[in-house]
Structures are given as C-alpha cells and as structure tokens.
Structure 1
Amino acid sequence: MMIRIIAMLGCCLSAVLSAAQKKPSIILFIADDLNQQDVGCYGNKDVQTPNMDLLAAQGMRFTRAYAASPMCTPSRSAIFTGLYPFRNGCQMNHFTVRPGVPNLPDFLKSLGYRVVISGKIDVSPRDNFPFEVTGEEFGRYEPIENRIDRKKETVRMIREHFQSRPQQPICLIVAPWLPHVPWFPHKDFDPQKMKMPSYLADTKETRGALASYYQSIRAADKMLGEVLQAVDQAGQTNNTVLMLTADQGAQFPSAKWTVYDKGLRVPLVVRWPGHVPSGAVSDALVSLADLTPTFIDIGGGAPVDSLDGSSFKDVLVKNKKQHHAYIFAETSVEPHYWYNYTPARSVITADGWHYIKNYHPGERFITHIDKVERNEFYFDSWVEDARQNSHTKFLLNRYSYRPPEELFNVNRDREEFQNLADVPAFKDILKEKRALLKKELLKQGETDEMILEGPLPEFADKSYTIRQNKSASGLSFNKKLWNPDTLYIAAYLEGIDKGGVVCDYFNNFKLFAYAGKIGVLLADSSIWESASLPSGSGHLVLRLSAQGDLDIQFDHKMVLSRKLNKDLTKIKAGYVTCGKLQGKEAAGRLQSYQGKISDLRFIMNELSGNP
C-alpha cells in the first residue's frame, strides 16, 4: 500500500514538473528613456543597434506601443500592475502605489514562476513588489560606469537559474539605467554627420547631446546582446519569450514628461520561436499596461478582469490585427519644487487620433531639461537660436506652453506639429475624442477637480496644508527655505476615539490620535502619548523645537509635553501625509484616520505671521 502511495505521489510530482516545463520563461528588457524612432529596426540610420535589430528579425515588432505615463516610476508601476496610474496610485514621479495593489510578482508566482528583477527597480513600496532582486550595483543611478552591469550579474542569474532550477520557469526583468541621463560621452558618433530629428532644434549643443544619447543606446544594445547570448547558451531560446521595450521616450523637449508621441511611443519587440513569426510587424494599438496581463496569459493564468491592460497574446501567436480601440496615457509631472504643476490626460485611438487635455494651460511647462540636466546641457542654445530661427522658436514655445486642448492626426502628422483642436473642420472629431477621455476618466474614478488639485502641498506664507488622505513628497520643498527652528502642526480633529494616524512627517515621527489618546511614534519605535481625553473632537496644536521640546495641546489644553532631545523638525527624503501612511496600511494607532481631519497645516517658526 505504501509503495502504491509513493508511486502515486511520484506521478503527481512528475505531472506538476512537466506542466511547469511547458510554461515558457519570460525575459523583459526595459530600456530607460528610449524613443521608438531611435532604434535601427524602427528606421534610425545613425544609431547602431544590431541586437535589437536581430531580435526584431527573429520576432515581432510593434509600431504602436505606448507607455501609460512618460515618467519612470509611474510608467513602471503601470507595467508591473497592469493598472493605469490613477488606479494603481502612482501618478507623479517618485511616488508609491496604493497599499496592497496586486502586481506582476504576485500573479506569476502563483503560476509557479520565479520572478526576478535585475538592475533598476523604481517602484515602491518595495515590500509591495515581492521581486527577487539581483544586479543591485548596476541598479544604482551612479556611477554611470556601473550601468553596463560590469559584474555581469544578469548573465550569471540566467545561467545559474537554468542550471539549478531547470524545471521552474523564470520571469526576469532586466532594467538598466540606459540610455537615461547622464549619457555616456560620445566616441562612436560624429555629431555633425547625424540626421537631426525634426522635433529637436539643430544646434551644435543639441547635436552633441544627441550623439551622447546614441552612445548610451549603443551600450543598452550591447547589454541586450549579452542577455540574448546567455539564453542561447543555456539552450532556452525556444522556450523563452524575450521582449524589448522602454519605459518612455528620451529626455529631450516634448518627449519625456510629456504626453506627446515622443514621450509615449516606445519600442516593443517580442521573440518567441515557434509561436511568433520571424520578421513580423504589428500595427495593433497596445499599452505597456498590457504587459502584465500578457505575461499572465502566456503563463497559463486566467484573465484578471480588474486590470486596465489586457493580454495581446493573440496578436503574437494568432496574428490578430487589432487590440485596443483606444488607450489612455497621462502625465502629472514631477514633485520637485522648481517644477510647475502642469498635468495632462490623453487618449490615443486605433484610427490614428491623439487627443490631449492640458489642465493648467496658463503655467509654463518646466522640467530637468530647463536648468538641471546632468550633462550635455543644450537648452540655452535653443533659447539663443530661437531669437532668429522660426522653427526653433516654434519648438521652444511648443515645449514650454500648452493650449487647453490638442488634437493630432498621428497618421499624417507623426511629429504632432499641427494642432487641429481649433480647426472648424475637425470640431466633430474633437467633440468625440473629448467625450472619450471623459468616459475613460469616469471609468477610472478620477475627476477634473482631483487633477487640478494634484498631490502637492498648498503653500502659504511660512506654512502649507495637506488634505486628508493626501500626501506630498519631500522633493516639493526647497529645504533652504523650509528649514524650521520650531515646527507647528495645527488641525481640527473629529473622531479621535477611532482615529488613527494624523500625519507622517517625513519618517521623523508619526502623529496619531487613537482610542481617545494623542501622541507621537518616533522612528526608533518609541511612543509618547497622552492620557485618555474626555473630548472626541477639538483643535490640535503640536509644537516641536529643533532641540526636541515637544508640546501638544488638544481642545485648548496641554495634553503632552516631552523632551525628545533630537531635531525632528527638518524636511528630508520621504513624504508628509494627512490621515494615512504613504503606500502602506497599518492597524491601531497608524491605521488610516477613521474620523475627519480639517485644515491640517504645517507652520514654520510661529503660529501667526506678521502682516
């Protein structure tokens, strides 16, 4: 009897392993800030990308693949969750997704995959994305010499996985900081002999920047070649789906950070021998939010109806010609204090129309490009050239200022130079696409009022407010100005019997009102709290000095006084929140606030200013 049971278990185990073997491994190579048009197989004659071109010759090249956001963190969050930015919670660069959002590692691990990321991660909170991590050295921003994975950790991961776990499929994300700025100095390109893209001003400085960008693309291509070779040497070519894409377009004006074509349209190439025909080209409209659903489908999982993206596996293996009727993309730009908040929402349709709604058209569009590029600074040459060159002036104004609405026929105007929104002949198309965007925003649950407000502090003289269930990044503050010797936090609280976290102040401390008590939780986990309070509602005033003297008043009475003996007043990396923790859910004192927080204000040095 025991022998029969063992035999049956052996058969079951064999069946499980056999099923796992049938699932293909998946490798996704994500280039960083790469325009579709800047790859050889997409028609660029100057940059050399032999490995990307080889991949296209052996697989399928998509001509209409778009990012959901033209910035690193929101785009990658959409890639790994299958949800558009508002739905996953990451709309501004360097923000987190909402707590508990399911994502690629969750989905594929449940299907038996080992899920690994090598290099740049750039999604958070990290514990919400349970990737196995390798290549941490080349995943750092600097030094740029590490970006080529000098220790060959990615190649070693591929080799060791197929040697040690031949029965288990792997999903490996290869994510170098290439060709993200700072670009490598150009040595293989002559700036004067290159063809200038029409969306860039033709100045000496821009040519030098373009040559360095191309040099970094070449480095990315070489790294892709190492990945291809490692898969081939492991004998796994025929059972590996290998994809190339980019998170968004290049860091040039009217590309990255914008929802113009150059910001959103990215390369997408897929090789899967025996399933995807060689040298195929697809014009199907796809979003990078489709990648996670496609991986689930390839791995044998059931469709996840709650996702915004959908699998394009049938485009790959059944030669399906169409995918989406339209896709959505957005920008909420960066939280840096020297940016202006200039959000935009857009839809791109399968029939070739691109509609954009700009929510603060009176604000100048400002990014890193204007003043703080890390190298190859060229923007001043545009400003100078615009004084006498009408095309450069057009490009400069197009980058810096946006009308309320834009409508482009991308089939005829790939550069998106001709805004048709005010042309009477296209008023019906404008109305139709405007309604389509409104329908999509309603579906996602985002209103115009939400977009106009954005995730930024509301500043006043030496103070700022954060609305309940909102947060702001430390990047939104000029720390030379916001450097309090004494910090005040004031609000009106209701429902402190249930309550929860009132605010997290840049991980320095968390202020809570819970179970009828008010207190602070410090980074070292020490807790200081009041006695039980008779009133469930009242005015709160916290005073904290740079010397660590803490006083808290509630309902006009002193309820807590302590000497913390450390400076917790300064703004640092992280977030300041109102009524929640950023990207996390907790219980008890740190649960999301269950009552109402009105007018939470952070005040520097004195409660009332001088008129």
Structure 2
Amino acid sequence: MKHDRSWTTMSTAVLVLMLASCLEPSLGEGDGGKVDTKPNFLLFMVDDLGMGDVGCFGNTSIRTPNIDRIAKNGVKLTQHLAASAVCTPSRAAFLTGRYPIRSGMAPSGQMRVIPFLASPGGLPANETTFATILKQAGYDTALVGKWHQGVSCSNRNDFCHHPLNHGFNHFYGLPLGNVRDCGINVGTVMRTKPAEQVISIVIAITVLLLSVAFLKLYGVVYYNWRSYCNFVGLWVGLILLGFFFLRSFRTLNCVLMRNKDVVEQPFNLETLTPRFTEEAVAFLRERKDVPFLLYVAYSKVHTALATAERFRGKSQHGSYGDNVEEMDWSVGEIMKTLDELGLTENTFVYLSSDNGGHIEEVSAKGEVHGGWNGIYKGGKAQGGMEGGIRVPTVLQWPGKLPAGSQISE
C-alpha cells in the first residue's frame, strides 16, 4: 500500500538546512579557483492566505500573476501543511523544523498566539533556526516583515526572543503583527465597544464595593475606613489601568522596528507593504555578491486590511482581494529584482502561508475580510479541519526543480 505523505512548513526548514550544508563550492573557469556557488534563499510567508485565494490553485477572480509565475517556472505543492492553524506556533515550526510543542510555542489555552509586545514569551534562545545555520555557513541573513515570536524576557532591553538573537543579521518589520486594533476605525479584537467597557467597569467596581462591605459588616475582615478606601482605590486603579491599556493597544503594540530600534509607532498600514518591498529590493541589490537568506514575511492578508491607494477598489473581492493583489505585486517586484541582478538561477524560492484563510473574519459593516480555502472545510484557528492547515505553496529553483511540475503527495 502506498503511504500518503504531506510536505509541511517544517520540511522546508529542513530542506534549507540540507542545501546549505551539503552544497560545496564548485570549480570555476579561468584561473581554476573556486567560485562560491552556495544557493541563495528567498522565502515568502503570507499571513492567512487561503488555499483557494491564488490563481494557480484554482481562483479565477483574484489576480495573482506573480505567484502563478513561480508555479509555472517551478513546483506547486498541493499537499503542503502548516504545523498549526494559527501563526505564532506555525511560524515557530517553520523557523526551526520542529513541532512547535517541542519549543513551548504551542500553548493549549485559549490564547494561542503572543498577544502583546510586552509579553515575556517567545521562541527560546536555545532553539536553532535555519537563519542561525545559514549565518554560521557565511550567509547574510535578513527578515523583512512579521516576526511574532516574542521580543524580550525579563526587561524590554534584553531582546532574548528578537530576530537578531535567532540568526538574522538584519530585521525590518513588525515584532508582533497586525490585528484589527492596528487599523483606524476598523474594529477591534482586544476590547469590546466603549459603552460595554464602561458598563463592565461599573459592574466590577460595584461588585467589589458590595463584597468588601459585606465582609466587613459580618466581621469577616477587620480594618478601619482608611485602609478600606485604600484597598478599594487600588482595585479601581487596576481596573482603569487595564481599561486604558486595551484602549491604547494600537499605540503600545503596533510598532515598526529596524533591528532593535522603533522607527514608527504606531505604523501606517497603508504604506507598510510598499516599504517592505523597498527594503527587500534594497537588501538584494546590496548583497548580490554574497550568499544570502531573505525571509519576507508579509503582514497581509491578515486584518486590519489596508492597501496603498493604487490597489484600492481594483479587485472583484473588496478589501480582501485588493490586499491579495497588492501582496502579489510585492512578490513580483522582488522576483523582478532577482532577474535584473542575475540571481534567479542560483536562488531557491519558496512561497507559502502560515495557516489557512480566516473564513470567519467579517468587518463591522458585514464585509467578508477573510480568505477562501477551496474545497477544504474549516479555516484559521480550526486545526482539526484541513482548511486551517493546508496552505498554497510554490517553489522555484531553475535547473534544479522541474518547471511546471506538481507534487501531490
């Protein structure tokens, strides 16, 4: 009996490591000296892109000519699976080639991703990423885009989980990620409506006062009125602090960094993808003569959805389609730079999604802001169904991978 096998994002991490360690420099022409022919690595990771959102995987109404071109010139994987149906554990697996539970990046609780910039959790410093191995092999390594693997441990300046501590020489992007709260007037996932928040605060304070008064009345607790007021004041202050923290989520968490420095807080979603593209193109031009790893991790097509003006209203699928098409444009600009620099033949290209499309994502106005997973049931955060983990994936490496082929096992 033939066994079904599936490529996973972890398989790609392992493949990168194998290629880097096994390929030796070959003899060059002319002086007989060795010419460094180590392959370059260009890895694209899209956020929440559905299996059915791409032309080469069956979509006939969203235009993705640049991703389709990679498939035409390379290999399409129809059985490629993410290691998790949400981004933080999935990306941890992608980076390390290990199941995320082995590195403590697959919590079983309700919050399965890193929620705040100040969260102490993240990818442990003792985990080995493919960037670490490539850096040790002499590669120049860069991450442009979303990290979402933590930043610091005990204080904001230790950067124990930062990309620069996991093998990347350069980082330009989002240490956390993009959520609705990072947009303007597009809703929230971190808090309820203002009226509901006020009601919740009033109820919490009322319950607190009544509880303490009851305990004092029946002699369970003994203290004077001054300590009573201090106690109540402390709890009221903590409640209000939590309220203002959630109200200030965009300012505190939606930041753009260059290496360890914050360069924009909060970031502008409309210009984010063009800036990621410019950064990636600049890296390629500057490092064209040395072996490199460029990992481009888009914040698209995760909500909040926002595009540059030139892409707005151009697709047949509203804001979501506009965002997919802008992301595809970015892929095209970076691939075009590879061609211009003569790097295409020696560059292994990989494009995938961190998990399936978010089929339940609907805006406050009722507009569908999530993707489509084709024939597969379920979506993002629904790991028990295939739509949450089967992801559209294409590979390209001219002369090494047969053009126009498909792997369906």
Please indicate the TM-score interval, normalised by the length of the shorter structure: 0.5 to 0.7
Alignment CA distance shift 1:111-1:170 (3 Å)? same
Confirm or deny that 1:112 pairs with 2:138. yes
Look up the equivalent residue of 2:64 and give its one-letter code: T
Query: Does residue 93 of structure 1 match 2:113?
Result: yes
- Give 1:133 shift: 2.4
Q: 1:188 Cα shift?
A: 2.0
Runs of 4+ in structure 1 over 4 Å off: 13-20, 137-140
Q: After TM superposition, list the pairs within 5 Å mapping 1:94-173 onto structure 2.
A: 94=114, 95-124=121-150, 125-126=161-162, 128-136=165-173, 141=178, 142-150=267-275, 152-162=278-288, 166=289, 168-173=290-295
Q: Which amino acid aligns with 1:116?
A: A
Q: Which amino acid aligns with 1:132?
A: N
* Pick aligned residue for 1:222 from 316, 329, 341: 329
Q: Is the 8 A contact 2:62 2:316 kept in 1?
A: no
Contact 2:273 2:327 in 1 (8 A): yes
Task: State the partner residue of 1:79.
Answer: 94
- Residue 179 of structure 1 aligns with an amino acid whose one-letter code is V
Local SS of the residue matching 2:41: strand
Amino acid at match of 2:84: S
Shift in alpha-carbon separation, 1:69–1:137, aligned structure 2, 3 A: closer
Q: What pairs with 1:356-435 in structure 2 (closer than 5 Å)?
A: none
1:262 paired with 2:387, answer yes
Task: Give the counterpart letter for 2:143 in structure 1.
Answer: I
- Amino acid paired to 1:279: G
Q: Secondary structure at the match of 1:238?
A: helix
Distance 1:128 1:252, change over 3 A: same
Tell me by how many angstroms 1:149 deviates.
2.8
2:47 maps to 1:32 = yes
Instruction: Kindly state the Cα deviation for residue 190 of structure 1 after the two structures are TM-superposed.
Output: 4.0
CA distance in 2, matches of 1:14, 1:190: 49
Aligned to 2:228: none
Q: Which amino acid aligns with 2:170?
A: V
Using a 3 Å threshold, how does the CA distance of structure 1 residues 138 and 93 change in structure 2: closer, same or farther? closer
Following superposition, the deviation at residue 112 of structure 1 comes to 2.2
Higher helix share: 2
Task: Give the distance between the partners of 1:174 and 1:215, measured in 2 at CA.
Answer: 19
Deviation of 1:135 after TM superposition, in Å, equals 3.1
Q: Give the match for residue 554 of structure 1.
A: none
Question: Is residue 314 of structure 2 the alignment partner of residue 188 of structure 1?
Answer: yes
Separation in structure 2 between the aligned mates of residue 14 and residue 283 of structure 1, nearest angstrom: 33
**Structure with higher strand content:** 1
Whether contact under 8 Å (1:155, 1:227) holds in the other structure is yes
CA-CA distance at 1:111 after TM superposition: 2.2
State which structure, 1 or 2, has the greater radius of gyration over its C-alpha atoms.
1
Other structure's SS at 2:287 match: helix
Aligned-partner Cα distance in 2 for 1:187–1:235: 35
Structure 2: any 5+ residue segments left out of the alignment?
1-24, 107-111, 115-120, 151-160, 179-266, 361-377
CA–CA distance in 1 between the matches of 2:98 and 2:332? 31
In structure 2, relative to structure 1, the CA distance for the partners of 1:243 and 1:14 (3 Å cut) is: closer
In 2: Cα distance, 1:118 partner to 1:65 partner: 23
Query: Structure 1 residues 189, 279: CA separation in 2 closer, same or farther (over 3 Å shift)?
Result: same
Report deviation, 1:128. 4.0
> Structure 1's 96 and 38: CA in aligned 2 closer, same or farther, altered over 3 A?
same
Instruction: Measure the CA separation in 1 of the matches of 2:100 and 2:331.
Output: 28
**Structure 2 residue matching 1:100: 3-state secondary structure:** coil
What CA distance in whole angstroms lies between the structure 2 residues aligned with 1:250 and 1:14? 43
Is this contact kept in 1: 2:26–2:36, CA < 8 A?
Answer: no
Measure the CA separation in 1 of the matches of 2:95 and 2:33: 28
Describe the SS at the equivalent of 2:275: coil
- Per-residue CA deviations over 1:131-190 (Å, capped at 9, x if unaligned) read 12243379963421133133711111111111xxx1x31111011211111123761234
Q: Does the aligned pair in 1 maintain the 2:382–2:388 contact within 8 Å? A: yes
Residue 281 of structure 1 aligns to a residue whose secondary structure is strand
Q: Distance in 2 between matches of 1:189 and 1:103?
A: 37
Find the aligned partners of 1:170 and 1:139 in 2 and give their Cα distance: 24
In 2: Cα distance, 1:219 partner to 1:88 partner: 34
C-alpha distance in structure 2 between counterparts of 1:214 and 1:279, whole Å: 26
Find 1:250's aligned residue among 354, 357, 369.
357
Structure 1 unaligned segments of length 5 or more: list them: 1-12, 192-210, 285-611
Q: Which amino acid aligns with 1:238?
A: E
Secondary structure at the aligned position of 1:37 is classed as coil
TM-superposed deviation, 1:219? 0.9
Aligned-partner residue type, residue 121 of structure 1: W
Question: Cα–Cα, structure 1 residues 258 and 24, in superposed 2: closer, same or farther, change >3 Å?
Answer: same
Q: Is the CA contact (8 Å cut-off) linking 1:120 and 1:177 kept in structure 2?
A: yes
Q: Residue in 2 aligned with 1:52?
A: 67
Note if contact 1:69-1:248 (Cα within 8 Å) is conserved in structure 2: yes
Give me the whole-angstrom Cα distance separating, in 1, the residues matched to 2:281 and 2:175.
Answer: 13
C-alpha separation in 2, matches of 1:19 and 1:37: 45
Name the structure, 1 or 2, with higher relative contact order (CA <8 Å, separation 6+): 2
User: TM-score when scaled to structure 1?
Assistant: 0.39
Deviation at 1:70, TM superposition (A): 1.3
Specify which of 281, 296, 308 is matched with residue 174 of structure 1.
296
Structure 2: distance between partners of 1:14 and 1:105 = 23
Aligned equivalents of 1:22, 1:61: Cα separation in 2: 25
Secondary structure, counterpart of 1:54 in structure 2: helix
Contact 2:26-2:35 at 8 Å conserved across structures: no
* 2:135 aligned partner, one-letter code: K
Q: What's the secondary structure of 1:187's corresponding residue? A: coil
Offset at 1:65?
A: 0.3
SS at match of 2:52: helix
Question: Alpha carbons of 1:66 and 1:283: their partners in 2 closer, same or farther (altered >3 Å)?
Answer: same
Q: Does the CA-based 8 Å contact 1:27-1:241 persist in structure 2? A: yes
Task: State how far apart, in whole Å, the 2-side matches of 1:257 and 1:107 are.
Answer: 31
CA contact (8 A) 2:47 2:299 kept: yes
Distance 1:190 1:170, change over 3 A: closer
Letter in 2 for 1:153: E
CA distance in 1, matches of 2:176, 2:327: 13
**For 2:394 and 2:34, how far apart are their aligned partners in 1?**
27
**1:92-147 deviation line (CA, Å, top 9, x unaligned):** 31142334111112211222222211111122311541312243379963421133
Aligned pair partner of 1:213 in 315, 320, 326: 320
What do residues 448-495 of structure 1 show as CA deviations (whole Å, max 9, x unaligned)? Answer: xxxxxxxxxxxxxxxxxxxxxxxxxxxxxxxxxxxxxxxxxxxxxxxx
Question: How big is the shift at 1:32?
Answer: 0.8
CA positional deviation for 1:40: 0.2
- Compute the RMSD of aligned alpha carbons: 2.5
Counterpart Cα distance in 2 of 1:18 and 1:61: 37
Q: Is the 8 A contact 1:113 1:170 kept in 2?
A: yes
With over 3 angstroms needed to count, the CA separation of the structure-2 counterparts of 1:115 and 1:20, relative to structure 1, is: farther
